[in-house]
Structure 1
Amino acid sequence: MRVKLPAIILSIFFILALPTIAQAAILREGSTGTDVKTLQTEFNQEGYTVGPVDGIFGPKTKAGVLKFQTDQGLTTDGIAGPVTQAALDRRTKTQEIISTAKTYLGVKYVWGGTTPAGFDCSGFVQYVFKDQGIILPRVSKDQATVGTAIRYKDLQPGDLMFFSMNENGVVSHVGIYIGGGTFIGAENAGVRVVTLDQYWISRFVVARRDY
């Protein structure tokens, strides 16, 4: 026998499935409260000076939002809506990933290595991303199948870059793009920052964005 759920139960289920107000918060000039304080803290940490962290979305906070939106190629309306907040969250996480990766500069290369005692290329990437709560597959060819595919010209810091060292299109190496035409990865000489010269560009296969 089929049991029909009372309409009130279905209504409650539907409401609980909706985003909360906090999740969908849109902050603009005149907004106040804890969400504004969090926004101001993040902008100050990222170098977009918005004045004191007072929980008041005033002219200085709006100016910081506008500058950030311009730098990120977003709609410049001075409103911290979902798109702007997502871009800020990604920038913050990117800085944390790059900072974490750089703490392992000089760590030796070990084939199959997945710890600071020694890394291989995919073990290094997996370890750094896991530290930020992002779980990736173990080997580079599998890592190259997750996330959003990104073209070379659209690279942003934090994207993973995949290479075919045999130049046959088969992924066999990975590094973390850190901007300025460079990536950080576990190479034969250990963890180091590498310049994307013609050698690497000719072996590039795809990039992936995982957060």
Structure 2
Amino acid sequence: MILPAKLMRTALLTVAVSAICVVGASAASVGAGTVNTDALRLREEASTSSTILATASKGDTVVVLEDAGNGWYKVDYKSVEGYMSADYVTVATKADVTIGYGLVKTGGSTLNVRSGPGTSYSKVTSLNNGAVVTIVGIDNGWYKIKTSGGTVGYVSSDYMVTCKDSAGSRGDGTVAASVSSSNSLGQQVVDYAKQFLGVPYVYGGNGPNSFDCSGFTTYVYRHFGYTLNRTATGQLSNGVSVSKSELQPGDLVFFKDGGSKPVSHVGIYIGNGQFIHASTSTYEVRINDLNSGYYNNVYVYARRIL
């Protein structure tokens, strides 16, 4: 059943926030939301002036946790909790849609898997605390899940949190406490940038069919609501300086190979000693090693935008 935004906002119940997995996903989800605009920002608080945690694309699925009031939903988007404008999220109390992975959080006891969304339905199987399954739907506050063995059933969302991977990323709070929301957004920047691998390098290219180096970084960050200066030298004024040893996914990395300008090239660090950029040597968007060979020799600076 699809509910209009205004009706859904008055119908949803406020639910308690519980355990976190990776970057805070809470239990007691109440519905599945679909983003109905081209780009919708996930905010740290229910305000357009609040920090941007992520940007969802049209058609993306979110877990609606509660009606936060004043035209905002509290949601879980890719295991990151935040707030989205309710005007741009279409909510269904029942939906068969793959959300991702779910981690059982019962405090030690087993969790019953039911044949339907409620305690009155028969028990199909049970899951141990810490088990990870795939969430394939939502039905009035119950998750429809599929186990690794192929069993399909329903569990109360009060006892499950969403996770980023099939390992559950521990989910005991220790990893979550050390991972910042900016880290999560940095990975989203990287994932979005990788969609353009192989796109031609053209001097002055602003995307999406061609890029030069700073045109590429500008285009990627604009998708997430950040405005960068247009040139590589100009982008040295964006964000804050970080050392090479402190690099995180999403950081800008700069290079200088002669010339009078402070830098001659820029790319985006993707982790594991690699970066993605609109290459002037192969004339396409590609990934290269940062810590060896040519780019290690001409590396000069890094800036954190997030």
TM-score bracket for the superposition, by shorter chain length: 0.5 to 0.7
How many angstroms apart in 1 are the aligned matches of 2:212 and 2:78? Answer: 36
Structure 2 residue runs of 5 or longer lacking an equivalent are 1-15, 20-25, 30-64, 67-73, 81-97, 105-134, 136-142, 144-155, 164-169
Query: Which of 289, 294, 298 is matched with 1:203 structurally?
Result: 298
The one-letter amino acid of 2:303's match is R
> Per the alignment, do residues 107 and 31 of structure 1 end up closer, same or farther by CA in structure 2, a change over 3 Å counting?
closer
Q: Percent identical across equivalent pairs?
A: 34
| Structure 2 residue 103 is matched with structure 1 residue 50 | yes
Distance 2:157 2:297 in 1: 49
Aligned equivalent of 1:112: 204
Given candidates 246, 252, 265, the residue that maps to 1:160 is: 252
Q: CA contact under 8 A between 1:40 and 1:55: conserved in structure 2? A: no
1:69 matches 2:69: no
Counterpart among 188, 191, 213 of residue 121 in structure 1: 213
Q: 1:96 & 1:60 partners in 2: Cα distance?
A: 17
**Residue number in structure 1 paired with 2:266:** 174
**Which secondary structure does the structure 1 equivalent of 2:237 belong to?**
coil
Higher share in strand: 2
Alpha-carbon spacing, 1:60–1:207, altered in 2? closer, same or farther (3 Å):
closer
Q: Distance in 2 between matches of 1:186 and 1:95?
A: 18
Confirm or deny: 8 A CA contact 1:169 1:205 kept in the other structure: no
TM-score (norm 1): 0.66
Shift of 1:113: 0.9
Runs (4+) of structure 1 moved beyond 3 Å?
26-33, 37-41, 51-61
SS at match of 1:114: coil
How far residue 114 of structure 1 moved from its aligned partner, in angstroms, is 0.8
Hey, what does 1:193 align to over in structure 2?
Answer: 287
Following TM superposition, by how much is the alpha carbon of 1:184 offset from its aligned partner in structure 2, in angstroms?
0.3
State how far apart, in whole Å, the 1-side matches of 2:303 and 2:204 are.
22
1:67 deviation in Å? Answer: 4.3
2:222 maps to which residue?
130
- Aligned-partner Cα distance in 1 for 2:305–2:234: 13
In structure 2, how many angstroms separate the alpha carbons of the residues matched to 1:31 and 1:195? 40
The residue aligned with 1:100 is 192
Q: Distance in 2 between matches of 1:60 and 1:129?
A: 26
Name the CA shift for 1:132/1:59 in 2 (closer, same or farther; >3 Å).
closer
Q: TM-score, normalised by structure 2?
A: 0.47
CA RMSD of aligned residues (A): 3.4
Task: Give the unaligned 5+ runs of structure 1.
Answer: 1-25, 75-83
Could you tell me which amino acid in structure 2 is paired with residue 208 of structure 1? R
| Structure 2 CA distance for partners of 1:101 and 1:41, relative to 1, 3 Å | closer
CA contact (8 A) 1:159 1:209 kept: yes
Deviation at 1:195, TM superposition (A): 1.1
* Residues 17-37 of structure 1: per-residue CA shift (max 9 Å, x gap): xxxxxxxxx9555986726x8
Residue 59 of structure 1 deviates from its aligned partner by 9.3
Distance 1:184 1:64, change over 3 A: same
Residues 118, 39 of structure 1: CA spacing in aligned structure 2 closer, same or farther, 3 A cutoff? closer
Shift in alpha-carbon separation, 1:92–1:69, aligned structure 2, 3 A? closer
Matched to 2:245, the amino acid is K
The 1:174/1:40 distance shift into structure 2, 3 A limit, reads closer
